Amino acid sequence: MDKKIEKQIGNNVRELRERAGITQEALATKLQLSGCDLTRSAVAKIEVGQRHLYPDEIILIKRILHVSYDDIFETEYKNIMKL
């Protein structure tokens, strides 16, 4: 995956989490309670683009933060990548 895109998606997750008023620890806890074994450290790594997101994690983050997939995947490359 393109590092710029990965960093942008991570930044989007951070901004959406902050907008929702949820800490990294709280997001990690909610993910764990939903069956996704992510620590606060893993959430931090996702937010800075150092760790990939897996499909099940994306689905749960979307549900927990009450956002759309477009909110998570919004990048400056989005229009270029449309099919």
> Could you read off the pLDDT of 44-75 as tens digits, one per residue?
999 999 999 999 999 999 999 999 999 999 98
- Domain containing 57 equals 3-69
Would you say residue 76 lies in a domain? Answer: no
DSSP string covering 14-82: HHHHHHTT--HHHHHHHHHHTT----HHHHHHHHTTSSPPPHHHHHHHHHHHT--HHHHH--TTHHHH-
How far apart CA 3 and CA 13 sit, in angstroms, is 15
Domain of 44: which CATH number? 1.10.260.40
Indicate whether 78 pLDDT > 60. Answer: no
pLDDT over 60 at 20, yes or no: yes
Coil, strand or helix at 13: helix
Q: What is the pLDDT of residue 15?
A: 98
With a cut of 80, say whether residue 1 has pLDDT above it: no
